[in-house]
Amino acid sequence: MNRRQFLHAAGTAALAAAPARLRAAAATDEAEPITVGVMGLNGRGTDLVKELAATGRVQITWLVDVDRRAVTKGEEALAGKQARPPRTDKDFRRILDDRRTEALVIAAPDHWHAPAALLALAAGKAVYVEKPLSHNPAEGERLAAAVRRTRGVLQMGVQRRSLPWVAQAMQRVQSGELGNVYFARAWYANRRETIGFGQLGLVPAELDFALWQGPAPDRPFKDNLLHYNWHWFWHWGTGELGNNGVHLLDLARWGLGVDCPTRVTSAGGRYFFDDDQETPDTQVATFDFGGNRLITWEHRSSQPTPLEGAPHGVQFLGTRASLTLDDRGYRVADLDGKELARVEGKVETRPHLGNFLDAVRTRSRKLNADVEEAHRSTLLCHLGNIALRLNRTLTLNPRERRVTGDREAAQLWTREYRAGWEPAA
């Protein structure tokens, strides 16, 4: 059965059944664990397995990855943490077929996020999807429409949204304490090494590379692609802006209380190494929201010199004071640089997962990073990348969240899909 047949035969019925299924879950005794399948087990996926198990609220029913070696990592991470071992497979559609499994956690590469989430929503599953929400803007629009249509549960993994000390900082930004807050800057610095020049070669026996590519049209296997460097190719990834920028731009947008910009500019390139990487190691993007609201983004993936004493963070500037937030907490300073307040904090994932599980259990619980917030913040990343790739300013209609008068930008709004995997929603 191909994707279209699957969606036509199973999707419509599942959409109708989803609200009833969620109501049944809401009525279940709180002591009953929520059943979860995890897709993607390299790096972040294995971390999520550990965090989910540590909540004491879930039964992980499936561990799925296209690479058998990654499945082993997931099994080792879960060993001894639940009485019943999970089932394993290389194809996440086994999770969708299992009526006992209530939620899908997606930690696969970017090009899988929206296609897998759309199929999961169609199958009546709740979805926790790692950032970014989508590989391109059209996918985010489709996901938002699908959640509205199915009344489904979807949370994006921007975990700072669920931390009380971060919420407190955002409240201070919006309270007037800083005066009129008109500008936010976000940044990321790291010391990434060169990915070199990949060689065509045989696919490892443990890896189903065709299934790894999934909805993306076929490209030949190269030995410098997996399991991380796909981030730096437009065909599968969204660059550093989509990889780390979405976390910090989400905070900047939250603090300023803005939605879609009216103008976007971006510049940068591959400055540090000469290799196969397509996405920029150095990039500056500016998002003008009108009404005296501006956000800038800067990343230096291979030059780790910090800003404001931190390798990544976000700073809000107001007419009376500033607030600077990083992974150690936040501080408020007056216009002379005198510190007025300091709050310590740390970044954790478990509260964000807890918020998601609450929403799976009872649909009355508000998600902290629902599909609408997720799409708005991910869209900033896409717009910055589109402006960079086209080397020109983008002008947008903020009400429609669309670029105006630019045919080439419209072409980058979506992507080509492998035949049979085109999103149906």
Q: How would you classify the pairing of strands 263-269 and 181-189?
A: unpaired
Mean pLDDT along residues 6-31? 42
CA distance 408 to 411: 5
Tell me if 416 is assigned to some domain.
Answer: no
> Does 339 lie in the same domain as 282?
yes
The DSSP-derived string for 223-287 is TTSTTTGGGGSTTT--HHIIIIIHHHHHHHHHHHT----SEEEEEEE--S--SS--S-SEEEEEE
Q: Which domain holds residue 306?
A: 164-196+221-347+379-411
**Looking at the domain assignment, is residue 209 inside a domain?**
no
Do 127 and 184 lie in one domain? The reply is no
Evaluate whether residue 214 is within a structural domain. Answer: no
Residue 90 pLDDT level (bands cut at 50, 70, 90): very high
Which CATH number does the domain housing residue 315 bear?
3.30.360.10
Residue 233 shares a structural domain with residue 304: yes
Amino acid at 365: R
Query: Would 110 be classed as within a structural domain?
Result: yes
Report residue 19's pLDDT band, with 50, 70 and 90 as the boundaries: very low
The answer to whether residue 206 sits within a structural domain is no
Residue 26 confidence (pLDDT): 42
User: Which residue in the block uniquely carries the two structure tokens 């992980």?
Assistant: 60
pLDDT at 11 over 80: no
Whole-number pLDDT of residue 21: 40
Identify whether residues 101 and 46 lie together within a single domain. Answer: yes
Which residues lie closer than 8 Å to 314 by C-beta, 6 or more apart? 184, 185, 186, 187, 248, 251, 252, 255, 324, 325, 326
Note the pLDDT tens digit of each residue in 206-251.
Answer: 999 999 999 999 999 999 999 999 999 999 999 999 999 999 999 9
Q: Do 138 and 264 lie in a common domain?
A: no
C-alpha 329/C-alpha 338 separation (Å) is: 17
- How confident is the model over 92-116, as a mean pLDDT? 98
Residue 407 in any domain: the answer is: yes
**116 and 246 both lie in a single domain:** no
Question: At 351, is the secondary structure helix, strand, or coil?
Answer: helix
The total of structural domains in the chain comes to: 2
- If asked whether residues 186 and 243 sit together in one domain, one would say yes
The pLDDT mean for the chain works out to 93
Taking the alpha carbons of 159, 164, 169, 174 in that order, is the dihedral positive or negative? Answer: positive
CB 105 within 8 A of CB 132: no
The pLDDT score that the predictor gives to residue 15 is 38
Residues 153 and 245 in one domain: no
Give residue for tokens 């029913």.
61
> CA-to-CA distance for 129 and 107, rounded, in angstroms?
7
* Helix 164-174, helix 246-256: angle, nearest 10: 40
**Residue 201 forms part of a structural domain:** no
Examine the domain organization and report whether 184 and 304 are in the same domain: yes
Beta bridge partners of 105: 38, 128
> Positive or negative, the Cα torsion across 365, 368, 370, 372?
positive
Q: How confident is the model at residue 14 (pLDDT cuts 50, 70, 90)?
A: very low
124 and 185 inside one domain: no
Global pTM value: 0.92
The answer to the question of residue 424 being in a domain is no
CATH at residue 23? 3.40.50.720
103 shares a domain with 21:
yes
Cα Dmax for the chain? 66
Q: What is the DSSP letter of 161?
A: G
Q: Are 269 and 323 contained in the same domain?
A: yes
Average pLDDT rounded to a whole number, residues 288-299: 97
pLDDT band at 75 (very low <50, low <70, confident <90, very high): very high
Domain finish residue from 370, 402, 419? 370
User: Over pLDDT 90: what percentage of the chain?
Assistant: 90
